[in-house]
Amino acid sequence: MNTTARKNATALIVLADARHGQTGSAFAVLDRKDRKESTRGPFYICHFKDETETLSAPVYGDSPLFEAAEGWVEKFAYYIQFKGEQSQSYGMQLKLTSARLATEDDRALGYEPERLFEQPRIPPEKALATIEKICTDKIKDEKLLALVENVLARLRTEFLRMPAAQGMHHPFLGGLVEHVRSVTRVAAWLGEHYDHYYGDLNPRIDVGLIVASAVLHDIGKLFELEIQGGGARYTTRGRLIGHIVMGRDVVREAAAQIEGFPEETLLRLEHSILSHHGKQEFGSPVLPSTIEAFILSAADDLDAKINEIVRGFEEHGVDQTGLTSKKVFAFGRTLYRGVITPPDAEADTQVDADAAVDADVEPEVRHEPVPVSEVESDLGE
């Protein structure tokens, strides 16, 4: 930004510090933009979000910013100047006086995109390396392994960057591969646990199929979504068809390229992908009907929910007690966090996140039924 612009810039604040009647400026992400109608004509409600707060900014038809607002794009960062206005109905709002896209040059003014856009907990390349290792270790069917490896190789670039969703769980760049990594690890562990526990099943629980299903369950999101700014938005095909069916199509096309790919394996793999949302009202055209599909659906649902809970605590803050989150949209209720550990004690017990998630603690695989006496011992009876 040039010297004149710097002189004209108002004080840079975080949105949580906006006060009624005071002017300020901030770098914030346009999280959502809604066009509405009133007796005054069309207007926009723009929701700007930084690391501290999300505030709405009405832009009415008679505003000098109205035409510009038509071109503002969700999930991009903006430099905004405003005056705080406290509304009895809507709380603190922003009356915008100017807004423009933020650029790298704005770092001189205090722009830190890494603070505005949620970052993955694990570097995408590292997450993918873990996925590939689990596939190599657990998928014993050579043709099934080849299918998974071929899909990952063809879609690698997109897979490393795509968010897992537009606004629910893992909605940040690199979120999809992080989610898939977690689901794959949990599903593989569950598969081996139950294969150990029910070792007399015939056919055996197919851990390799569970892993392949976990890795590919959301592959259709690479076509359902497209990257926009620091997040994602739905494509037309994504809205009309959805990632579940598109993911099944990816798998079917990949299997057709492998001579002699087993029909039974393809059928069970397709079923796991099609049923992984667990309920038809959640978008799955069929319900889980195999053990492998049940395990995938449970692991996927658990990982998505845990991410939304953690992000609920981080993004929505807590109430005045410090123990309970504000209402989290994904659950429609508040969530109890519990007593927060004092900083000094937390420092003594902090575990390296990367080391923790990379620890490979796997159950011993047993190929015979577990004696009843051993089960009772496990239960402490």
Structural domain containing residue 322: 317-354
Which amino acid, one-letter code, is at 376?
E
CB under 8 Å to 377, separation ≥6 — which residues? none
Q: Return the number of other C-beta atoms located less than 10 Å from residue 357's C-beta.
A: 17
Q: Return the number of other C-beta atoms located less than 10 Å from residue 358's C-beta.
A: 13
328: β partners: 333
Residue 2 phi/psi, 5-degree rounding, is -80, 170
Give 160-217 pLDDT, tens digit per residue: 999 999 878 998 889 999 999 999 999 999 999 999 999 999 999 999 999 999 999 9
Within this chain, do residues 25 and 58 fall inside the same structural domain, yes or no? yes
Within this chain, do residues 161 and 78 fall inside the same structural domain, yes or no? no
Task: Encode burial over 13-52: b for 16+ CB neighbours within 10 A, e otherwise.
Answer: bebeebeeeeebbbbbbbbebeeeeeeeeebbebbbbbbb
The whole-angstrom separation of Cα 138 and Cα 129 is 14
Give 295-327 pLDDT, tens digit per residue: 999 999 999 999 988 887 876 666 666 677 777
Within this chain, do residues 26 and 139 fall inside the same structural domain, yes or no? no
Q: Which of 116, 142, 162 is the last residue of a domain?
A: 116
Which amino acid, one-letter code, is at 203?
P
Within this chain, do residues 267 and 190 fall inside the same structural domain, yes or no? yes
Overall pTM surpassing 0.85 (yes/no):
no
Percent of the chain residues past pLDDT 90, beyond the cut = 62
Residue 140 lies in a domain: yes
Residue 305 lies in a domain: yes
Compute, in degrees rounded to 10, the torsion defined by CA atoms 367, 372, 376, 379.
Answer: 40
80: β partners: 26, 99
Residue 270 near residue 286 (C-beta atoms within 8 A): no
Q: Which of 60, 81, 116 is the last residue of a domain?
A: 116
Residue 362 lies in a domain: no
Residue 93 near residue 80 (C-beta atoms within 8 A): no
Residue 370 lies in a domain: no
Give 11-29 pLDDT, tens digit per residue: 899 999 999 999 999 999 9
**Total structural domains within the chain:** 3
Within this chain, do residues 158 and 301 fall inside the same structural domain, yes or no? yes
